[in-house]
Amino acid sequence: MNLKIMGGMLLIAGTALGAGMLAIPMVLAQFGVLWGSILMFGIWVGTTYAALLLLEATIRSGGGIGMNTIAQKTLGKQGQLVTNGLLYCLVICLMIAYIVSAGDIVQQLLSRIGLTLSLWQCQVIFTLGIGAFIAQGTATVDKLNRVLFSAMLITLVLTLVYLLPNIELGNFDQQSNTDKVDLIKNSAVLFTSFGFMVVVPSVVKYNSEATHKQLRNMVIFGSMLPLFCYLLWLVAVVGNLPPEQLVSFASVSDLISMLSAQYANLGIVLSLFTGLAIVTSFLGVAMSLFDQNRDLFNTNKLTTFVLSFVLPLLGAILAQDKFIGVLAYAGIILVFLAIFVPMAMVIRVRSASFEQSEGALYQVAGGKAALSACFVFGGFLLFSQLI
């Protein structure tokens, strides 16, 4: 596997890891590890297939720097407007969630070295600092993401070294909530935890010389990494803290503080781990928004930077303590953007009237039956928010 393909895989994994890593124990612990893991696996299967549909549409339409171009090529002007509207709503919601949580963690880290800043100041520092790297382009983001993702895996291993040997097996059997309807209601938050689709056009453009098989494997293995990490994290956290305690936490700092109180020196490792998870996720999501704005408005980097980061930053400053809530809203938007829009794109590119990009014949396995199952999956996710 060449470095650019590996970089694309890590960008996909890093985009998904972040919000989900922090939210999953708080929303699933009450239902028990078994049922939470089953739901998570099912949602992973559906989201990965939908991402492969977007990959097919990207390849067969000739690609583009963002979803704006792909939507225009496959769905026309009206489809382009709908796709852009959904994308902006989704990415801004995700960025707000990441900035809210990142500001909290930056504030904690600075306080450890004796610096006291307000939460909004920490949010500004985080957003402008990471935004400066994103403005340099995908190659720079890829290199930074490789370093950060590797560091995140190291801190995850260190965290598991603390937590796994001290697991209380009795915690896995505890269920403070046995209502499966309530479990289903959390599907949107889990779906958002695998919300890497927005970065697919960017990594395909970045790996323009790759084969279709390499791109397919990049998406599949890139999505498997978050699944593996989420399951390990869920087991480790639930094994150390009872479900009724986890569901009472309002923020990431509550979770970190409770685990830090139990294990000496774990606090700094957890802060670094959660911070790195958020940064890698923020990198992918913000890069997709930056590329989308550059594709849509065709303006200079400074203007694109302002368009990409000012609104999410303002939203984060106003949305304190709304981390889980913002993820739920993002999950509803993501259903349309990541399930139904790629389905519509694929139906169009598979039609006889669509002019295929030269040498770009690629089709996801499964045919009409898999498309129908994907539609049912999208309906299930919407239903989970209406019940």
pLDDT, position 326: 58
**pLDDT(120) > 70:** yes
pLDDT, position 318: 76
**pLDDT(243) > 80:** no
The SS3 of residue 351 is coil
Of 25-29, 79-83, 218-222, 342-346, which gets the smallest average pLDDT?
A: 25-29
**pLDDT(223) > 80:** yes
E strands in 251-378:
none
Distance CA 148, CA 133 (A): 13
Q: Which two tokens stand for residue 105?
A: 């963690």
Task: pLDDT band for 329, please (50, 70, 90 cuts).
Answer: low
Distance CA 351, CA 359 (A): 17
pLDDT, position 20: 61
Over the stretch 145-193, which tens digit does the pLDDT of each residue have?
Answer: 889 888 988 988 888 888 888 887 777 777 777 778 888 887 877 887 8
Distance CA 16, CA 9 (A): 11
pLDDT, position 19: 54
E strands in 72-131:
none
Taking all residues of the chain, what is their mean pLDDT, rounded to a whole number? 82
Average pLDDT over residues 1-16: 84
Task: pLDDT band for 45, please (50, 70, 90 cuts).
Answer: very high
Note the pTM of the prediction, 2 decimals: 0.83
**Do 210 and 217 form a contact (C-beta atoms < 8 A)?**
no
Average pLDDT over residues 11-37: 79
pLDDT, position 14: 83
Over the stretch 334-387, which tens digit does the pLDDT of each residue have?
Answer: 788 889 999 999 999 888 887 776 666 788 888 889 999 999 999 998 888 776
Of 48-52, 224-228, 298-302, 356-360, which gets the smallest average pLDDT?
A: 356-360
pLDDT, position 118: 84
Average pLDDT over residues 62-78: 82
Which residue range forms the structural domain that includes residue 310? 3-386
Close Cβ partners of 329 (under 8 Å, ≥ 6 residues apart): 93
Give how many domains the chain has, as a whole number.
Answer: 1
**pLDDT(25) > 90:** no
Which domain CATH number covers 43?
A: 1.20.1740.10
**Do 244 and 14 form a contact (C-beta atoms < 8 A)?**
no
pLDDT, position 259: 78
Distance CA 54, CA 334 (A): 13
- Please, where are the H alpha helices in 137-247? 138-163, 170-173, 180-185, 187-193, 200-206, 212-240, 243-246
